Structure 1
């Protein structure tokens, strides 16, 4: 409350003990030369009963010139903040920019000019890594990364594959001009190498993080090769793309695929999910499509970029991976890293044991992985006669390194809050306390907008809308573009969290949670492809379709849930549908309801039956009739209108899909496949009744498999409608 000024004619009631004739509204005299008083005035008079809102600087007898020194200090402070912010940003890709970045990071750079004019910049990154950048005519020509781990582990090829990644980080992306190319991506990879070097430095114990990480890679690679051979044994002989199919089966259903310097990620990556894994490009070499017997012989071949066609098409085959790194952590609180290649036995598998908790393997009659527990890795003893204190505990023999393993999510994964807490508790980690009211819609679909969990009332339902053009086959078997009006409803508020990093001390902990991660990776990718505000649209060759796609909108609204039946979004505007195309039907409405809570996410889709003809708007019919000069055209339009009004409406198609662990899809409630009533017990026990039930079950499974193959709600919905219309 502002203190009244002396001009305010408000009667004041003073206590009896207050005998001063000066009104209480007038502040006492202060010495403004005191720095402490000036600080209090600048902070608003806290603790002195002075309100700067009710008393201006002029009323205190101070002018702007008298406060000039404070203004200069404020400007200087802001300028320093701007300069500090600019210093954190890497420069542009050039010789001077690379040298400046290395100086800022404290790296030594040796510059050498070759006889042909090429300039070599040698970056010394600790005692284990050296990077040479070759610049010619102001452009980056090549990068050479040399590491000590390649000499200690022949065949790892960390340096050659890392050189390609570093060169890509110094090259412009598709559609980017060289003038806009910065050192941001190169700086990110350089920071990763620097962190590994600092953790492996002698002052931190001298334990090589490279040896620890690539020891984990050796065991994971052994497990991957074993599971790939098992997957190849299941495939039929002369199966095309057998090697790629087996690898992707292990990647998405088993223990994942470990890779060194995969894609644009430097280091060890454990890939655990791939979008549209069944879609393999036809540009592979003939060697990759050889018979199954030859694939078995080539399973241990070195990893080459040609064996991973998904790296060249990340838009269709997006990969979810965990990057295995090291971070500083006290060994007294968390289990430290261990340097060992024996995280798993040579036999790979063992019989399931109830004592070890392999109940699921016993029920499914499948072997379990034979994990091993390597001994701890101790730091070397401090040499005698050093500068270390003899009473220091850090210098005592038998010390453990203050480093732990951590898995970085690439990309970050959104999971329900209960799943987030369960994973942390399963790994024996402390659950973060910064619990926020964030939802899947706000984190995964609309990250740049206010989260519905922060604004939404308890009796409302968040709705996300988008329009998308889908390539479909018409009744004549020809391809055509069809517009879908998609709506996503989330009836229940389910809070979620984004997983970015997960510490662990044994690789088996990561393998055990992969089935759960795949559930939400598939769900997130499926919905992002349809409802993400920045997702690219399919190619549109015709100008009319291009104009329609250019006007595509994606908005987030809120609808109340007064009834169980959710109301569809309003009819599209006349400008985009009726006026531009008078005889064009409105976009096909596809409604999706999401239940995100564990144990399984559920997607319920509803779309019109193919036999239900969408009536044309009345204003479009009248305008067409008035503009038509042909009697036959008017008659055909009236005939279409009469047939539309007389045809009974068919109920919309409705399918519920449950996403189980490992992203196994199971169809729940549905009205697509006509299921006959259960036969009598006598027929049920016969062979004919069993065959009929199995045939119906296979038809239902085929609906779920179609969604797994295409990975697109729009394409899958059109496939279902086409199958129902043909039946």
Structure 2
């Protein structure tokens, strides 16, 4: 069944948006910016040539400012008494806003706090007759949750749903109980006094929404069964791809099962999990940071036990990355249901047959859904099926209403929620919505990747008057480990954005078939990888307090590292420059780092005398210093890193064998960053690697 196309006269919350106009700056480029976002400076290898041109031209910027000293309060029509009354009214307004925010927040974990939360959410509860300190929460008609307290501390949680009766092999209640009980206990490093019911309330809200959508008043279509059917098909596809990946690995390879699963997670159809990690419900994990790195404490015995469990049951299992102290950040799509008119969008269908038993089908040029890559490479594609529509229960409708008594579709659709939200260019945002058959929302804000992903607490650079004609620059200082001896070095890292690309944040995306999600995963990985590489260095959280979790995930911490007292054997600081091109279809990040034999120490941006001396001695310095190392990386679909330009490896085209050797060395540069997933560590590795390459040349 195809998705009906909404008419032009029909209102919809998914409306098309037009490309926002380009913003040009009326201010001269010499006007300095304010805040944490600066313009291009001169303490980096990336701008040495530009400094030389400026010195030779003798041109300088002309500053401009506005004096407010001649403007008195009385000339502005403002008096002290009027300001006092305004301040008092403003304080009252802010106090009322704070009270409203606190009223919406759940209380702390306690028996009294949980009962107050249930009253607020409209969840009936009753005291258990046989077990002391146990309360039974009646979450609609399909879920029952028993919570046991002792001295206001959580003891156990027991979740039971209708899915445990219809599909007991999924163990939805048992795994869901583990997530709920963890949400009531403190996070690592958190005091018991600071544990709130916020994470617990998010899970209750999700269960309550599923029950309301599938209640008999709405036709009696079970959202639990609909989501379980999608999980069954995605799990079948995951196991098939994992088996193929294991066949390509040596039988005695260490952690081969974990590595195979992570390869499918990041390069194939993703890893579906039901109540996995900290997410209650179905999630499709599609990207993982540092997927090549496994903790040394991961026991081999647990891997063998997990293999056996995978063969015996489809139940969700635990992984090393689920541990709160793990460094592997996960990107996932949480698959849920939401209300939506069935006349505009394809509604949910309850079926376990979204994919055939054979999983794969041979390449066929007559197949309209066949991928061009599969046809060119003559490789099989996924054999997706299209289940029949699921109709409402006729008994739940008015028997006298002959039009609606039979054949009416549910006003519910599938929706994938991004965890965490993902920032993509505006053109990609529009393309993804069109891929799933809906029109993008009408949003004309001039937001950018830097403002949305790296500096969410500051004014977005796209909204500044200087955004159209200046190079955006943001900085950070952090400590990076150098080599295996444990020594550390301070990195002064600068990011230059030569062109601001308007971007949007993906928070949710409706879909009608799991095939649509699998098809967009390569693009999502592309921007997830670009985001994590830069967020690890340049992210600064908003100054206002924000929740420390979302579905149990920790909020990224600022990368700033406190300075340590200088030591005699401490390595000198290193200037590392990155430039970003975020324009589709391929993000490009270029690294500039000084050569290890270079003695260049950049002048301070505030020391004008040092800058003048540097510019005067620039020709002699250039003759005695080595070139800066430069590597430009393109981030392709599925997060693949490809070296687009570099000056470390020289090609010798007159020798075919030597050309292949050089090509392998260039690919090794990208592979190193793919393993460490950190530009600082990678920059130090490049400085050691170039010495070896020059010796071999």
Aligned with 1:367 (options 380, 384, 395)? 380
Structure 1 counterpart of 2:677: 711
Counterpart secondary structure, 2:624: coil
Larger RCO (CA within 8 A; separation ≥ 6): 2
**What's 1:399 paired with?**
408
Other-structure match for 2:301 = 287
Equivalent-residue separation in structure 2 for 1:219 and 1:210 (angstroms): 15
- 1:432 alignment partner in structure 2: 441
* Preserved CA contact (<8 Å) 1:404 1:504: yes
Q: Which residue of 1 aligns with 2:352?
A: 341
Match of 1:236 among 246, 250, 257: 250
Q: Which residue of 1 aligns with 2:635?
A: 659
Shift of 1:163: 0.7
SS at match of 2:311: coil
What are the equivalent positions in structure 2 for 1:112-127 lying under 5 Å apart? Answer: 112=128, 118-127=132-141
Q: 1:470 to 1:228 in 2, by over 3 A?
A: same
Matched, 1:481 2:488: yes
Q: Do the aligned partners of residues 238 and 298 (structure 1) sit closer, same or farther apart at CA in structure 2, a change above 3 Å counting?
A: farther
Q: Which residue, out of 583, 586, 591, partners 1:597?
A: 583
| 1:588 alignment partner, one of 574, 589, 611 | 574
Query: What SS is found at the alignment partner of 1:196?
Result: helix
The answer to whether residue 686 in structure 2 is matched with residue 720 in structure 1 is: yes
CA displacement 1:450-476 (0-9 Å, x = unmatched): 111111332111111001111112xxx
Q: Does 1:460 align with 2:470?
A: yes
Q: Counterparts of 2:468 and 2:372 in 1: how far apart (Å)? A: 41
Q: Of the candidates 524, 529, 534, which is equivalent to residue 536 of structure 2?
A: 529
- TM-superposed CA distance for 1:81, in Å, is 6.7
| Cα distance change on mapping 1:150 and 1:274 into 2, 3 Å | same
- The aligned residue for residue 215 of structure 1 is 229
Is residue 241–residue 288 contact of structure 1 (8 Å, CA) maintained in 2?
no
1:186 counterpart (200, 207, 212) = 200
Equivalents in 2 of 1:102, 1:692: separation in Å? 71
Which position in structure 2 is the counterpart of 1:671?
647
> Are the counterparts in 2 of residues 672 and 724 from structure 1 also a CA contact under 8 Å?
yes
Deviation readout 1:617-651 (Å, 9 max, x if unpaired) = 99xxxxxxxxxxxxxxxxxxxxxxxxx98981001
TM-score, length-scaled by structure 2: 0.78
2:212 equivalent to 1:161? no
**Unmatched 5+ stretches in structure 1:** 1-52, 59-63, 65-70, 539-547, 553-575, 619-643, 680-688
Relative to 1, partners in 2 of residues 1:296 and 1:197: Cα closer, same or farther, differing over 3 Å? closer
- Give the Cα–Cα distance (whole angstroms) in 2 for the partners of residues 436 and 246 of structure 1: 42
Deviations, residues 507-565 of structure 1 (Å, cap 9, x unaligned) = 00000000000000000001001111255589xxxxxxxxx93249xxxxxxxxxxxxx
Correspondence for 2:365 among 341, 348, 354: 354
**Which of 690, 693, 698 does residue 664 from structure 2 map onto?**
698
Do 1:126 and 1:197's aligned partners in 2 also have CA atoms closer than 8 Å?
yes
Superposed, 1:63-74 pairs within 5 Å as none
1:172-209 deviation digits (Å, cap 9, x = unpaired) = 12222222222111111110010000001011110000
1-side partners of 2:514 and 2:629: how far apart?
44
CA-to-partner distance for each residue in 1:358-381, whole Å, 9 max, x for gaps? Answer: 221111222100000000001121
Spell out, residue by residue over 1:264-296, the C-alpha distance to the aligned partner (whole angstroms, 9 max, x if none).
110000000000000012223333566xxx998
8 Å CA contact retained: 1:470, 1:484: yes
Q: Secondary structure at the match of 1:353?
A: coil
Structure 2 counterpart SS, 1:300: helix
Normalised to the residue count of structure 1, the TM-score between the two structures is: 0.75
CA contact (8 A) 2:285 2:331 kept: yes
Q: For 1:225-256, what per-residue CA distance to the aligned partner results, in whole angstroms no more than 9, with x for missing partners?
A: 00000000111231110100100000000000
SS in 2 for 1:431: coil
CA contact (8 A) 2:489 2:572 kept: no
Alignment partners' CA distance in 2, 1:519 and 1:460: 27
**What is the match of residue 134 of structure 1?**
148
For the 8 Å contact 2:109–2:184, the answer to whether it is kept is: yes
Deviations along 1:387-445, one digit per CA (max 9) or x if unpaired, are x383485x331000000000000000000000000111122111111221001001111
Q: Please say if 1:549 is aligned against 2:561.
A: yes
Task: Report the Cα distance in structure 2 between the residues aligned to 1:295 and 1:389, rounded to whole angstroms.
Answer: 52
Q: Could you say what secondary structure the match of 1:458 adopts?
A: coil
> Is the Cα–Cα contact under 8 Å of residues 331 and 403 in structure 1 kept in the other structure?
yes
- Cα distance change of structure 1 residues 520 and 55 upon mapping to structure 2, 3 Å threshold: closer
Distance in 1, matches of 2:690 and 2:78, equals 77
Cα distance per residue 1:126-171 (max 9 Å; x no partner): 1111000000112111111111101211220111111111111111
1:93 aligns with 2:69: no
The CA distance in 1 between the partners of 2:94 and 2:455, in whole Å, is 33
Kindly indicate whether the alpha-carbon contact (under 8 Å) linking 1:414 and 1:444 is maintained by their aligned counterparts in 2.
Answer: yes
Per-residue CA distance 1:567-614 (angstroms, 9 max, x = gap): xxxxxxxxx9xxx56896652011000011111110100000011124
Q: Structure 2: state its 5+ residue gaps.
A: 1-75, 542-555, 605-619
Aligned residues of 2:472 and 2:498 also touching (Cα < 8 A)? yes
The one of 234, 253, 256 aligned to 2:267: 253
CA distance in 2, matches of 1:238, 1:280: 17
Output the CA distance in 2 between the equivalents of 1:585 and 1:275: 28
Q: Give the direction of change, closer, same or farther, for the CA distance of 1:655–1:370 in structure 2 (3 Å limit).
A: same
Alpha-carbon spacing, 1:270–1:178, altered in 2? closer, same or farther (3 Å): same
Match of 2:30 in 1: none
**Preserved CA contact (<8 Å) 2:501 2:582:** yes
